Amino acid sequence: MSEHVRVAIVGAGPAGVGAAVKLCEMGVGPIAVIEREKVIGGIPARYTSDDVPTYVMWTRGRVIPGYRFADRLRKELEGTDVAVHLGSMVASVDPETRTLTVVSPGRGVWQLTADAIVFATGARESSRSERGWIYGHRPAGVHFTTNMLDFGGSASADAAIIGSEVMGYAAAAKLRRAGAGRVTVTDDAARPRSWLPKRLFFYRWARPAWVGRARCATVRGSRRVEGLEFADGSSADVGQVAITGVLVPNSELLAEAGFEIEPGMRRVRDVTDYRLDASGIFLAGNVLGLSCSGQWAYWTGKWAAARVAKLTPAR
């Protein structure tokens, strides 16, 4: 079973929705969006409460909760004639024929060909081993940001946040609001990586202690977190650890397709103006190796869509 569209978009997060909406505005179609989750919106859709708003609407001068931002994306996409395939996973991509092999529930394996493909697959937080300075076990109580989006008031222990980008301070606010006691932010940098005004926004919920130049951090405890030890002999007696930031592009599909990937940070090489090499494949959002907010990712999707419309004539 095979279908053909003018543009196929992989990912229905902010960048993917931005690309789809812009292409529709430019009269480009038909368009199909493939999303492995069952909802539109990407990471913002996983935020379920109003406790700490974290998504900046730069064009409106407001900060809103993730689920509200995801609702905006969903309504915008539903207002187009884009075919959206939720709960569907792209198993492989053939860059020469621009063919996606897709697995969908109730439909099985099928193929989608396109004149152009936009990858808006986002990024993930790098693991402890990828960072190279976090050691020890991984007992209960060690989380990544996506694992602790909604604690529901259950975070009662003191907490340590590894990573001082804005996501780290958002996590500190989230944990403090959920009931955590003392919160400490630590990083291997001398100063917090997040811009001061962004940190100040989250100070209304949490004013975490700062431990910089942490060249080595070891998680104590085998079954549950008992603390965090540093190379200088100091320690933080905490009951939970959140590992945040240092985003790594979700570039696995492109690597499997034979495109060159930078070692370590997994960025795709040979990308110019959102276009990969001289192919009909384009990238948008944090899969480019960026660490941008939701609305910025949305805009990169629109900018990539403009390049798609200009550089990819219909068959």
DSSP class of residue 15? H
Residue 275 has pLDDT above 90, yes or no: yes
| 17 and 82 share one domain | yes
% of the chain at pLDDT higher than 70:
97
| 200 and 137 share one domain | yes
Residue 152 has pLDDT above 60, yes or no: no
Closest CA to 224 of 302, 179, 158: 158
Give the model's confidence band at 154: pLDDT under 50 very low, under 70 low, under 90 confident, else very high.
low
- The lowest-confidence range among 36-40, 43-47, 96-100, 109-113 is 43-47
* Owning domain of residue 170: 127-243
**Domain tally, the chain:** 2
Element (H, E) at 77: helix 66-78
Give per-residue pLDDT as tens, 69-83.
Answer: 999 999 999 999 999
| 237 and 296 share one domain | no
| 297 and 221 share one domain | no
Give per-residue pLDDT as tens, 199-251.
Answer: 999 999 999 999 999 989 999 999 999 999 999 889 999 999 999 999 999 99
| 18 and 113 share one domain | yes
Instruction: Give the Cα separation of 305 and 314 in Å (integer).
Output: 14
**All residues at 6 or more sequence positions from 98 whose CB lies less than 8 Å from its CB, including other chains:** 8, 113, 114, 115, 116, 117, 279, 280, 281
